[in-house]
Chain A
Amino acid sequence: MLPEIEQYFRLEKLPHMWCPGCGNGIILHSLVKAIDKLCLDQDRTTIVSGIGCAARASGYLDFDTLHTTHGRALAFATGVKFAKPELNVFVLTGDGDCTAIGGNHFIHAARRNINLTTIVFNNNIYGMTGGQYSPMTPNSCRATTSPYGNLERPFNLTDLAIAAGATFVARTTTYHAKQLTDLIIEGYKNKGFSLIEVITHCPTSFGRQNKMGTPADMLKWQRDHGISAMRYENLTPEERADKFIVGVLHKTEAPEYTTEYQKLLEKLG
């Protein structure tokens, strides 16, 4: 581990509990680098997570950390941020946690445009329970609960966030780790609800069931399918079919909830 980021970890809690080859550690690393570059006060920064593989990240980080109930990270985080808006609040959640059981909180946090930086670890599967399909499992993919291939259609999470009112929406992959750091920095700087969806590889549960090869093969898949908006523009519809854009997808300004509430307090006070 690089010495400059060591201070952000609870070193005694390492090694982490994730499987060999898991992408979650890459996301954690990018997050910590972003926090370091932003020079955030460690005492004034809270990390909130839900339940699942991704959510265990909070325990390794040396901040005030809140490991909540399944799906509810954003609701807990809304409480923290609304009660004490001066805290920097990051939310770490998985695709099942955020988009299935926590889907309602996700759209409403976006609608409120509350200043939370939310990082969705999208490994397309429920990893901790052993590989069941999630609302982000692509159609026809296999999972322990879709042994004949997934009949459901996945969410387009970034579109969902934009439609719900998020003011910063980005997507990248664990292959694009450096870009991820930049996106987290930009998401943090946005005064409102920021979503950064990170497509991460789960070799144990998703990769194995869908014959994705080694963790390195999965990273290569990310490299080959996640492309910049500029490159995407120049592709034919056929070429676009299995590609997705990485980078900032949406950026706008809107009133931020805790700021608006503060204005109300000042008006009444």
Chain B
Amino acid sequence: MSTEPRLVQGNEACAEGAIYAGMRFYAGYPITPSTEIAEILARRLPQVGGKFLQMEDEIASMAAIIGGSLTGAKVMTATSGPGFSLKQENIGYACMAEIPCVIANVQRLGPSTGVATAPAQGDVMQARWGTHGDHPIIALTPSSVKEAFELTVRAFNLAEQFRVPVILLMDEVVGHMREKVTLPQPGDLPVVDRVKPTCSRENYYPYKADSDKTPPMACFGEGYRYHVTGLFHDESGFATEKPEIIDWQLKRLHEKINQHLDEIITYSSEETADADLVVIAYGGTARAVSRAVKLARQEGHKVGVFRPQTIWPFPEAAIGELAASGKKLLVAEMNYGQLLLEVQRVAAGRCEVHSCLQSNGELTLPDVILTKIREVYEHAPGN
């Protein structure tokens, strides 16, 4: 791959990032605005010995990548809102059976068919709670083309390390935007592979984990002859209805993520140190916020930006610190208040929490955010 900077689309960066991370099995179904990911991989994967499969529907795509992952391949699918809804049952399966996989959701305006080509960020809560049952999830959200590449690589690393589905929560702005990027060379970014068992078949318990709570994963076809099910199961992988074993398993699924929050959660924090107002934004909206904050600084307002790259698990500690320091928070997102709920929960009344919400199919204008920033200042006590 060239070391020269070139013009790269967000969806292309996702596809190339996946190949960089070692993804060699893609199954998907065409849906705007994610389709370029499939189109690029249909061309690229066979060139690197990988498998590309266009399945009959979204559900089948999710099922096929789980099957592929069980043979040892790094796998992914890509979709958008309507397809993300359809994939949920099998995303839950991947959580339960602990199957590493990456699901890119290039968010578009919903509900329902909505507007296929319009940006939105309405799937934040669906990414967290979309499946039935109760399990943790990892979701990453890039706000530039460069970051789309980097976070795709990271999504695979986390999926492989923790044996979980990881959701790459893009939006139409980032997916379709083209930017000047120099793509990383092999070795520039870490690439993580899943841990495989080293013990004999007789001693292999597919769901027995040591203190880090993630069990080693055997490949189908390598002689371990084990059972995988979406039913609650014991260490050996076989179904159980015993409450104490169910409790053990579900707690372990939570702990394997919760014990590693520091490793999983990343964010960028700009000019927050001296700020008395911090704008929290992600994805495409964060780009509008960057501009608005620059303009606000020019007007003399001390404003910073907090941009989660890991949106789930929610960067609770970092936001909690901001809240505890008494800074005002302003959440800007393209929905009617989803991450806002989490910020309010974590702030817990310790600071003012404002919002700038829009869901009309257009990227929020910097002016709209700037106006909101001014409002927060004008209404501040003592002003």
Contacts and interface: CB of A to CB of B under 8 A. Distances in A.
A268 B46 contact: yes
B60 A264 contact: no
B274 to A, nearest CB: 52
Given A59-B238, A75-B60, A269-B49, A64 B221 contact: yes
B55 A69 contact: no
Contacts of B224: 64
B114 interface: no
Interface in B15-64: 25, 27, 46-47, 49, 51, 53, 55-57, 59-61, 63-64
Interface stretch (A78-86, A154-162, A168-176, A229-237): A78-86
Contacts, number: 127
Interface in A63-79: 63-69, 72, 75-79
A64 B229 contact: no
Contacts of B57: 104
What 7 A-B pairs have minimum CB-CB distances, sorted nearest first? A79-B67, A79-B64, A75-B63, A75-B60, A83-B68, A108-B56, A67-B229
Contacts of B229: 59, 67
A11 to B, nearest CB: 13
B59 A75 contact: yes
A104 B60 contact: yes
23 contacts: A13-B238, A44-B221, A46-B220, A62-B225, A66-B70, A66-B220, A67-B231, A72-B59, A72-B63, A75-B56, A78-B55, A78-B63, A78-B67, A79-B25, A80-B71, A82-B51, A82-B64, A83-B51, A83-B71, A104-B57, A265-B46, A265-B49, A269-B49
Interface residues of B, number: 42
Nearest to B63: A75
A259 to B, nearest CB: 13
Question: What does DSSP make chain B's interface, helix, strand, loop or mixed?
Answer: mixed
Nearest to A105: B60
Contacts of B226: 64-65
Contacts of A24: none
Interface in A206-234: none
A100 B51 CA distance: 29
Interface string A116-150: 00000000000000000000000000000000000
Nearest to A88: B221
A58 interface: yes
Interface string B212-238: 000000001111111111110000001
Contact of A43 (B53, B93, B222, B239): B222
A261 B51 contact: yes
- Majority SS of interface residues in chain A? helix
Contacts of A81: 67
Contact of B230 (A69, A80, A83, A264): A69
A42 interface: yes
Contacts of B310: none
B46 A84 contact: no
Contacts of B238: 13, 59
Contact of A67 (B51, B223, B228): B228
Contacts of B225: 42-43, 62-65
Given A43-B225, A79-B27, A108-B56, A69 B73 contact: no
A69 B60 CA distance: 11
Contact of A108 (B60, B65, B73, B230): B60
Contacts of B67: 48, 66, 75-83
Of the listed residues A13, A63, A72, A81, the one surrounded by the most CB atoms of chain B closer than 10 A to its CB is: A72
Given A59-B229, A64-B224, A83-B71, A78 B239 contact: no
B63 A79 contact: yes
Contact of B221 (A46, A48, A79, A82): A46
B223 A43 contact: yes
B89 interface: yes
A83 B99 CA distance: 15
Contacts of B230: 67-69
B109 interface: no
Contacts of A177: none
B168 interface: no
Contact of B55 (A44, A66, A75, A80): A75
A2 to B, nearest CB: 20
B319 interface: no
Contacts of B66: 68, 76, 79
B93 A80 contact: no
Contact of A84 (B220, B223, B231): B220
Specify which of A62, A65, A75, A83 lies most central, judged by the most chain B CB atoms within 10 Å of its CB.
Answer: A83
B90 to A, nearest CB: 6
Nearest to A77: B67
Contacts of A80: 67-68, 70-71, 220
Nearest to B227: A65
A87 interface: yes
A82 B227 CA distance: 20
Contacts of A43: 221-223, 225
Contact of B68 (A58, A63, A79, A264): A79
